[in-house]
Amino acid sequence: MTAPLLRALDLRRDYHMGDEIVHAVRGVSLDVHNGEYVALVGPSGCGKSTILNLLGGIDRPTAGSVAIDGARIDDMSDADATHFRLMHVGFVFQRFYLMPALTAMENVELPMAEAKMPRAERQKRARDLLAYVGLAGRRDHRPSQLSGGEQQRVAIARALANQPRLLLADEPTGELDAKTGAEMIDLLGQVNTDGTTIVVVTHDEDLANAAKRVVHMKDGVVVDDRLRASR
C-alpha cells in the first residue's frame, strides 16, 4: 500500500465561546490516498467544514496533525503554509468567493501569478482551464456577469490553476439549483477522473453519491467511513 496523500491523525479543534469551550472536532483520523474522491457528510455543526479547514491548513488544530504528501502543514509557519496551499491544495467554497473586480480569466490567473508563472504561460493555462470547465466564451466576464453555476466553474478552474494534487470543496453545490448542481457534480467527477484527489464537504446527497468514499461525521467524530460499492 502506498503512503496516503493526506493523513490526519487524531485531529482536535476546540473553540472558546466566552467561558465555554466548544469541541468542534474530537479526535478525527483520516487517510486519503491519491486519486480518491471523498465526501464528508453529516448534520450541520458536526465539524465537517472545520475538518476541511484543518486539512487545507487554513485553520490550526488544537491537537493532532495533518500531513499532505508527507509535509506537516499544521507545523508550518503561516508563510510556509500559505505557499504550500498555493502549490499543492485547491479550494472551492460554497459562495465561490471570486475577486469581483477581476474577469474570469484574471481570477484563474491569480494563483498562477502568485506562483510567479510567466504571463504567457499562465494566460494559456487559464484559457485552457476555462475551456475545461466549459467557459471558453466567458473569459472576459466579471463575476457579476456570470450565473452562480458559472462562477463556481471559474472557482474550480482557479482551484486547479497550479495543478494541485488535492482539491478541497466546501458545499460546492450549496448555492446552486438542482440542474446547475448536477452539472457541478459531473464537473467534479471529471476533475477526479483526470487525476485530482478530492475531499468534499456536502449536504447534497447526489454529490455524496458521486464520491467513491463517504465519511459520516457526528458530534465532531467520524462515525462511519466506507467505500461506495458501485460507481
Partner 1 sequence: MLLRLAWAARSRHRSRTLLAVLGVAVSAAMLLDMVMLSSGMRASFKNLLLSRGFQLRLAPKGTLPFDTDATIPDASGVAQTLRAIGGVATISPVLGGQAHVIRGDRAVSATALGVDPQVQGDFELLSGREPHASDEMAANDDFLNAAAAKIGDTVAVAAGYDPQLRVYAGRLTLRVVARARFLYLAAGQRAIALPLATLQAMQGPASADRVSLFMVRAAPNVNVDSLLRRIQTAIPTVSAISTETAMRQVDERLSYFRQLALILGVVSLAVGFLLVSTLVTVSVNERLGEIVVMRAIGVAKRRVVLQIVLEGVAIMTAGAALGLVLGLGTARYLNSILASFPGLPAAIDFFLFEPRDAWTALGMLVSAGLLAGIYPSWRGASLPIAVTLREEAVA
Q: List residues binding partner 1 (CB under 8 A).
A: 49-50, 53, 56, 58-59, 78-79, 82-87, 89-91, 93-95, 97, 99-102, 106, 109-111, 113-115, 158-159, 162
14 beta partners: 23
CB of 128 to partner 1, least distance (A): 19
For the chain, the straight-line distance linking the first and the last C-alpha, in angstroms and rounded, comes to 22
Nearer to partner 1, 90 or 149 (CB): 90
Nearer to partner 1, 90 or 172 (CB): 90
Nearer to partner 1, 111 or 181 (CB): 111
CB of 22 to partner 1, least distance (A): 12
- CB contact at 8 A, 105 and 161: no
- CB contact at 8 A, 168 and 52: yes
Please give the order of strands across the beta sheet that includes 6-17: 20-32, 6-17, 63-68, 71-72
Nearer to partner 1, 144 or 230 (CB): 144
CB of 95 to partner 1, least distance (A): 6
Phi, psi of 114, deg, nearest 5: -65, -35
Nearer to partner 1, 7 or 85 (CB): 85
CB of 139 to partner 1, least distance (A): 15
Nearer to partner 1, 63 or 97 (CB): 97
Dump the DSSP string for 98-166.
Answer: --TTS-HHHHHHHHHHHTT--HHHHHHHHHHHHHHTT-GGGTT--GGGS-HHHHHHHHHHHHTTT--SE
CB of 146 to partner 1, least distance (A): 16
Contact residues for 88 (Cβ-Cβ < 8 A; gap 6+): 68, 69, 71, 164, 165, 166
CB of 224 to partner 1, least distance (A): 25
Residue 55, helix vs strand vs coil: helix
